[in-house]
Amino acid sequence: MHRTQLLVPGSDLMAAPATPASRHRSKSRRLRSSDPAVRAMTDFLRDPPLTTVEDCDLDTAMDEMFRLGVRAFLVVRDLAVVGLITAEDIRQSRRSSVSRVAEIMTSAADMPAIDWLTLREAKVRDLLEIFEGANVHHLVVLETESTQRATVRGLVHRSRVERRLLPNDYSNP
């Protein structure tokens, strides 16, 4: 059985460390539940993803998330995405003896994901329903190139969608 390989767009992602200039700030544009879902996505073709590696120490990963103002990193190995680590994962792990990202990350096979073509047809209300129904906080956006390769095109953050949503619009997705 072959597994789909998830690739990170671009070839220089591992070469340069993340800097404050590459922070993923929440866009100031407000959202309506009827807006196209792509407006809620961090598109990695415009904003390169922030990444870490499997053997990164959890305290270092959390410090970098705090410094950059983000709550999640893609975990990569040789430009292939192998998982996702969130600040919440790290906070919850503090009760145990784990110390490395690889020990608590969500593996690529288990990451909540949505296909790029599906996202392009969806509305923000559809994302809210997915977040609520699946009880997830991040959706990885996958762009399928073939049966064996997919590119991680972007990431949708539940908290950013909720923050950007116009008042009184969230209760009626």
Domain span at residue 69? 5-12+31-164
Residue 31 CB-density burial (10 A; 0-12 exposed, 13-18 middle, 19+ buried): buried
Give pLDDT, residue 170: 58
Q: Which CATH number do you get for residue 69?
A: 3.10.580.10
Does 21 reside within a domain?
A: no
Please provide residue 107's backbone torsions phi and psi, each rounded to the nearest 5 degrees.
-70, 160
Residue 173 CB-density burial (10 A; 0-12 exposed, 13-18 middle, 19+ buried): middle
Does 113 reside within a domain?
A: yes
The per-residue pLDDT for range 140-163, each reduced to its tens digit, is 998 886 666 788 899 999 999 999
Does 69 reside within a domain?
A: yes
Question: How high is the mean pLDDT of the chain?
Answer: 81
Does 18 reside within a domain?
A: no
In this model, does residue 27 exceed pLDDT 60?
A: no
Does 42 reside within a domain?
A: yes
| The total number of structural domains that make up the chain | 1
Does 46 reside within a domain?
A: yes
Chain-centre distance of CA 106, in angstroms? Answer: 11
User: Is the model more confident about 11 or about 129?
Assistant: 129
